[in-house]
Amino acid sequence: MPRLPRRALFLPLPVLILALSALPAHAARNDHQVWGVVQGTVDLGGRATSAFDVQYRVTDGASRQGQVLIRPAIGVYLNKTTAAYLGYAFVTTDPLGGTPTDEHRVFEQLTFRIAGDGKGPTLTARTRLEQRFVEGWTGHTGWRLRQQVRGTLPLGGRGVALVSTLEPFVSFNTTGWGQRAGFDQVRAFAGVSLPVARGIAIEPGYMGQYIARYRQPDSMNHVISLSLSLRR
């Protein structure tokens, strides 16, 4: 795996800034949110591994529970830096003034390293294909692709690192429950990873989430994100 020049790690940050600035300056609906996330990976021995994340999202001016997500997955290492996963997600959504929904997702995922050695500046990627099912809409499966790129830049030798991610979502089909084919949303995150114990780190930061809407104004969510990451 090629070593990544230190200056190259800064590339995701300008891309992040450009991505956010390229979005409409006055999206018709702006919201301020807080997302709490617990996520991690647990190796199961041999080439087997597992991953999970649980998210609690406070929306509508950070005043109420808008969404809860639970997402476990089981995987296998294809080599030292690449893993393939099969997973399931349950998502319950309670939009202000809208109809609450329960969504089930099956997903296939590939995680891999693009450049770097994992100790210095590093770029990684996560490709996820989702099949989405909303309760009450039998036969309306939504197919969606998510492609995340993540950059990390260590600061000193204590495990502290700058972190940035960029993740566009593209839907492949239109469903009766609301998914539309084409661009769905993009998320851009910038923050810092702070180790608190061996294999445990917190990642506070800011995420901009731009969402395309059908027959209604697009929205821009300004999210304060706090993640607790575990690796075992």
Domain boundaries, the chain: 6-231
For residue 145, what pLDDT is reported?
98
Two tokens, residue 129: 């294909």
Determine phi and psi for 15, rounding to 5 degrees: -60, -40
For residue 161, what pLDDT is reported?
93
**pTM here?**
0.89
Alpha carbon distance 87, 108 (integer Å): 6
Show the low-confidence residues of the chain (pLDDT under 70): 1-28
Cβ distance 190 to 13 under 8 Å?
yes
Alpha carbon distance 39, 105 (integer Å): 17
For residue 117, what pLDDT is reported?
85
- DSSP string for 51-120: EEEEEEEEETTTTEEEEEEEEEEEEEEEETTEEEEEEEEEEEE--TTS--EEEEEEEEEEEEEEES-SSS
Alpha carbon distance 13, 182 (integer Å): 26
For residue 120, what pLDDT is reported?
87
Two tokens, residue 232: 């075992």
For residue 19, what pLDDT is reported?
58
Alpha carbon distance 214, 81 (integer Å): 39
Burial group, residue 188, by CB count within 10 angstroms (0-12, 13-18, 19+): buried
For residue 24, what pLDDT is reported?
56
Alpha carbon distance 37, 60 (integer Å): 18
Alpha carbon distance 219, 204 (integer Å): 23
Fold for domain 6-231?
A: Porin (2.40.160)
Two tokens, residue 61: 């001016």
Alpha carbon distance 66, 57 (integer Å): 6
Q: Which among 154, 83, 88, 170 is positioned nearest to 122, based on CA atoms?
A: 154
